[in-house]
């Protein structure tokens, strides 16, 4: 099964590829694109040998419906999007499946099973309505992760995003640190976690730490334009924001 992935978020694309290959042993990711223009070129060169396409709605240089206006997409498309499910009901009418981000493993499995059981979908049947649908969806606010289900001894514990102070990498393991200081293993990479968080609420300080504003206790100027951050709850390791990220970090805190 030859698959193309059209996705402009590297972390989301990486997670999707991992889930697809875990679920479908015959899956072969034959190409990827992160913009409308690169997707158009990809379909022109590899589109005829494609069985299935996973396509994000909003790409770096525009909405994905522009791809259909510029080239022929002959393979069935499963849309992956962070937008509200209610607005996406229109896709069902046009026999187009979709997955709401963050992508759930079971939903992905069901979508692939649906594809296997169906005949190849003719994209032309819904192309005329696609632009209107996608523009409507793009006007919706994206949805972000609201809670994390974590392992704690012999049980699962749901933790609301409002109770998360920060995420940190320690010895290669991703940890969720609650506002009361309690730590839980987060069974995802930091890239996957970052892709699911509201950027207004969380900021990736560096490769090791993602924090919310309330967790920033102190900010110290450091040499070479770096910032040294003291977190609450306390983190034993020193945390630095690079000179390159410092302006964006200050703007984020100053909203």
CA separation for the pair 102, 184 (Å, rounded):
20
* pLDDT value, residue 109: 92
**7 and 107 belong to one structural domain:** yes
Give the residue from 90, 18, 24, 96 showing the smallest Cα distance to 55.
96
* pLDDT value, residue 86: 44
**121 and 157 belong to one structural domain:** no
Out of 91, 113, 138, pick the residue that ends a domain. 138
**17 and 131 belong to one structural domain:** yes
**239 and 186 belong to one structural domain:** yes
Q: Which domain holds residue 134?
A: 2-138
* pLDDT value, residue 123: 47
3-state secondary structure of 71: coil
* pLDDT value, residue 54: 93
Out of 94, 119, 138, pick the residue that ends a domain. 138
CA separation for the pair 107, 109 (Å, rounded):
5
* pLDDT value, residue 84: 58
**134 and 153 belong to one structural domain:** no
**134 and 175 belong to one structural domain:** no
Across the 255 residues of the chain, what is the mean pLDDT of every consecutive 10-residue run? 93 92 94 94 86 88 84 85 58 59 88 77 50 61 86 92 97 96 94 91 96 97 94 95 94 91
**74 and 13 belong to one structural domain:** yes
**123 and 18 belong to one structural domain:** yes
Give the chain's domain count: 2
CA separation for the pair 244, 232 (Å, rounded):
24
* pLDDT value, residue 135: 61
**174 and 75 belong to one structural domain:** no
Assign residue 226 the CATH number of its domain: 2.40.50.1020
**165 and 66 belong to one structural domain:** no
Residue for token digits 């523009």? 135
* pLDDT value, residue 251: 93
Return the number of other C-beta atoms located less than 10 Å from residue 91's C-beta.
21
Q: Angle at the Cα of 201 (from 212 to 196), degrees rounded to 5?
A: 105
CA separation for the pair 224, 216 (Å, rounded):
21
* pLDDT value, residue 73: 85
**133 and 157 belong to one structural domain:** no
Assign residue 17 the CATH number of its domain: 3.40.50.2300
Out of 82, 111, 138, pick the residue that ends a domain. 138
* pLDDT value, residue 2: 94
- Own/partner pairs, 109-118, CB within 8 angstroms, 24+ separation: 109/23, 111/78, 112/20, 112/23, 112/24, 112/52, 115/52, 115/76, 115/78, 118/76
* pLDDT value, residue 138: 61
**195 and 221 belong to one structural domain:** yes
């Amino acid at each position: 099964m030859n698959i193309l992935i059209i996705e402009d978020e590297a972390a989301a694309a990486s997670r999707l590829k991992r889930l697809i290959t875990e679920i479908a042993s015959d899956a072969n990711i034959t190409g990827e694109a992160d913009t409308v223009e690169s997707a158009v070129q990809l379909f022109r060169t590899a589109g005829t040998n494609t069985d299935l396409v996973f396509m994000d709605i909003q790409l770096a240089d525009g909405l994905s419906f522009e791809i259909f206006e510029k080239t022929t997409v002959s393979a069935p498309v499963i849309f992956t999007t962070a937008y509200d499910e209610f607005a996406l009901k229109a896709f069902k009418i046009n026999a187009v499946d979709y997955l709401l981000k963050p992508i759930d493993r079971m939903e992905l499995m069901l979508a692939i099973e649906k594809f296997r059981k169906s005949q190849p979908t003719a994209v032309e049947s819904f192309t005329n309505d696609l632009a209107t649908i996608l523009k409507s969806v793009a006007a919706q606010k994206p949805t972000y992760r609201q809670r994390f289900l974590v392992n704690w001894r012999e049980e699962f514990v749901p933790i609301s995003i409002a109770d998360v102070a920060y995420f940190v990498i320690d010895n290669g393991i991703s940890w969720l640190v609650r506002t009361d200081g309690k730590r839980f293993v987060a069974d995802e990479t930091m890239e996957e976690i970052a892709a699911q968080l509201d950027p207004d609420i969380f900021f990736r300080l560096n490769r090791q730490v993602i924090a919310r504003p309330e967790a920033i206790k102190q900010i110290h100027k450091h040499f070479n334009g770096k910032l040294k951050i003291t977190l609450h709850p306390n983190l034993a390791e020193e945390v630095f924001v690079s000179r390159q990220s410092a302006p964006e970090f200050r703007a984020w805190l100053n909203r």
